[in-house]
Chains A and B, each alone.
Chain A
């Protein structure tokens, strides 16, 4: 979809971008990450011609963008920046309609799409469409910024540290939201950040950039497992193993669990394990039973707080083990039916 070939850019004598080659696939969530001053924002801006490289070529859908007028190109590419840049004299709706108006899209179609987009970013249109930017919180304003970038249904969206100025809770919510939107709309997203946790959480592919050079481009798990050099390793942080766990899911690591029915507890339990899970006749997890030579001890638990589900990450699993002071946790589905278990040993050995 987007191909950057030998992109070089100098500001004076200082090379900001040094022979950059990148290939971003259609529908990919691509994250450019690097310390400040690494050239990541400049690189992003070459894609919509807000910066012109000194040499090298950029192709979007096999079309050389140097053949396209900057303004025309930019109207076809969504653009979100950290400071948002909502126009203070326009309502939320009019802000979203800026690009459709530039493209002279039919007004009614554009307006109904604007309202859909407000719903998509979870801002109820009736409440928000006539508000003005100064009436919005930082998180709300950035959601309008995202809706605005999507207004003309562009195949590509460029995002320059969009969540950099938000508080951690809002940031996390918006990260989840943008992942959901990415899945729903199948846009190609190029996302610039300096926050490694953010990159690992949302990126399908990450390019690490330093002093204008791409150091490593790969999927997050691979980068975490095999950092190319000490810079990448340092950048990922000493807890990179834990970060990797945040990209691995319980469903892929769980194994079958041994269990007994609650109403058969009085029977002799045949197992070589120290404990078994206890379920009721509907397979719903009720607790566990600890077995020893001196007899057995039944502990009742609430599956909602104790059990994991398939969609949780191994990082969540380890965290829950620490909280509950156990080495093994049950895995349940939404109804509480036991589907397996996961142990600390499995996590340590298999990942």
Chain B
């Protein structure tokens, strides 16, 4: 009796919020920017609170019951994410930060405040707390080290592909083929040669190279990250206006001056975009590293898939999505500041 009452009350509140928001959107031009945020926030708070509350009540009567967020919850969360992104599209920087911080605060408040403790996903979390933090840091380490190494290799390669037309096509042919190899196949293909190398070279085995674990995951992620990086470095340099290049050469710049004072600064925004793509893509791909024993958030995802436990899958997926979205957001901000500094579009 009590649950159904809360349920229907909640349903009516959320429904009326949505209808009210639709009406306000239709009559008020500025509704999108402020009202939609307020309504989204209210809906998130209501959903989280009622879900947590419901789980606690169920738990009181039935200790072995497992209460998970249903599909509707995730879909709603996704829709609210879309609405917020849309509402913030033309908003000022400070306002954006404030709204994002507010939403993060709400989630952190509900999670750390223990309101969701009886929900399945949180119970999975408490059961694996130590492992969770360890896998997150492994995931971050693997992703960032791979992208850093890929960037280190891609810079000279992108510049060479731009300066020497003869090798341009060859570089991209190789990188494109690498990109088409499925990740699992790539991991598999790396096991044999790496195992062989590690067996026959004391140095390599001492620094931790082995057929499984970090080494194959790192190599595969580096290779995948190189295409977007090299492609954007090449395109960025190529897109620098021919007039600017001609004028610079005409003033007596040599190719080093031209590269460092003109071409790279003017290509910076595009190069950073390549870095963003590589980073987001690598954070996602790194989930597969768990398959080859390199750890990372993929561990929970594959374990959850094996146990048919959606909550465990979500324990891996949610932080993964959060890291990827944050990385994209941070990179977008850096790109915006860079292109403003360079192109001075004020």
Contacts and interface: CB of A to CB of B under 8 A. Distances in A.
B243 A84 contact: yes
A81 B243 contact: yes
Given A83-B243, A132-B344, A89 B265 contact: yes
A74 B247 contact: no
Contacts of B257: 102
Question: DSSP class of B's interface residues: helix, strand, loop or mixed?
Answer: helix
Contact of B252 (A85, A102, A158): A102
B248 A87 contact: yes
Contacts of B266: 87-89
A134 B343 contact: yes
B249 A50 contact: yes
A145 B342 CA distance: 19
A74 B258 CA distance: 14
Interface string A131-170: 0101100000000010010000000001000000000000
B252 A74 contact: yes
B343 A89 contact: yes
B246 A89 contact: no
Interface string B224-266: 0000000000000000010111111111111001000110011
Contacts of B341: 89
A88 B343 contact: yes
B89 interface: no
A87 B257 CA distance: 13
A135 B246 CA distance: 21
A85 B262 CA distance: 11
A79 B342 contact: no
Nearest to A89: B342
B345 interface: yes
A71 interface: yes
A308 to B, nearest CB: 42
B249 A88 contact: no
Contacts of A213: none
Contacts of A102: 251-253, 257
A48 interface: yes
Given A72-B252, A75-B252, A102-B252, A86 B344 contact: no
B246 A134 contact: no
A76 B250 CA distance: 10
Contact of A88 (B250, B251, B344): B344
Contacts of A71: 252-254
A71 B250 CA distance: 8
Contact of A85 (B244, B343, B345): B244
A79 B250 contact: yes
B32 to A, nearest CB: 31
B251 A74 contact: yes
Nearest to B254: A71
A118 B343 CA distance: 22
A51 to B, nearest CB: 11
Given A132-B344, A134-B344, A134-B345, A85 B253 contact: no
A71 B252 CA distance: 4
B220 to A, nearest CB: 37
Nearest to B341: A89
B290 to A, nearest CB: 43
A81 B252 CA distance: 14
Interface in B269-304: none
Interface string B154-182: 00000000000000000000000000000
A214 B162 CA distance: 38
A273 to B, nearest CB: 60
A99 interface: yes
Interface string A220-253: 0000000000000000000000000000000000
Nearest to A99: B251
A87 B244 contact: yes
Contact of B243 (A72, A85, A135): A85
Contact of A79 (B247, B261, B345): B247
B265 A85 contact: no
Contacts of B247: 79, 81, 83-87, 145
A110 B280 CA distance: 46
Interface of B: 241, 243-254, 257, 261-262, 265-266, 341-345
Q: Top 10 nearest A-B pairs by Cβ distance?
A: A85-B247, A75-B252, A74-B252, A83-B243, A79-B250, A132-B344, A85-B243, A89-B342, A71-B254, A71-B252
Given A74-B250, A83-B247, A134-B343, 5 more contacts: A89-B341, A89-B344, A99-B252, A132-B344, A158-B250
21 contacts: A71-B253, A72-B252, A74-B249, A74-B250, A75-B252, A79-B250, A79-B251, A83-B243, A84-B243, A85-B241, A85-B244, A85-B247, A87-B266, A88-B244, A88-B343, A98-B248, A98-B251, A102-B252, A102-B253, A135-B344, A158-B250
